Amino acid sequence: DAGGMTAVPGVVAVGDVARSAGHRAEHWTSAMETAAVAARNLLAGTTVETYSGLPYFWSDQYGIRIQLAGRRGSGDTVRVVEGSPEDRSFLAVYEREGTTTAVLAANRPRPFLRARRELARAGGLAAV
């Protein structure tokens, strides 16, 4: 479930093996952040807490820091708001019906951080 509990009593699941609230998030951040919540539920013996964090991952690929936060859908539109892919440095937003669902950056860590915080404040998860 959304707190890492499984159908097996005394067993919780996090990280790459887990599907939480219908979503898989196979990234380091997810594995680390969800573990604490699952541990509290394991100790309580029931779901007392669910994951509420905005999905986020980063990766360094060929000299580019790639960061994505939120949960884009297949029908979302993407718009570059800073920089350009040609320059290997940009910030882009994914949108659906006027609402931002995710932010993506390449080599733009500071603008990305601001956009990620704004998305979290706006309840990015609720938007998807």
Ligand X SMILES: Cc1cc2nc3c(=O)[nH]c(=O)nc-3n(C[C@H](O)[C@H](O)[C@H](O)COP(=O)(O)OP(=O)(O)OC[C@H]3O[C@@H](n4cnc5c(N)ncnc54)[C@H](O)[C@@H]3O)c2cc1C
84 touches ligand X (CB under 6 A): no
User: How far is residue 126 CA from its own chain's centroid?
Assistant: 13
Burial profile 80-96: b = 16 or more Cβ within 10 angstroms, e = fewer: eeebeeeeebbbbbbbe
Q: Which residue is nearest to ligand X (CB)?
A: 15
**CB of 120 vs ligand X, minimal distance in Å:** 18
Closer residue to ligand X (CB): 31 or 128: 31
53 touches ligand X (CB under 6 A): no
Each residue 3-42 as x (binds ligand X by CB under 6 A) or -, in order, gives ------------xx---------xxxx-x-----------
Task: Outline where DSSP puts E strands in 42-98.
Answer: 56-61, 64-70, 77-84, 89-96
Closer residue to ligand X (CB): 4 or 124: 4
Asked whether the CA dihedral 120, 3, 76, 57 is positive or negative, the reply is positive
**CB of 15 vs ligand X, minimal distance in Å:** 2
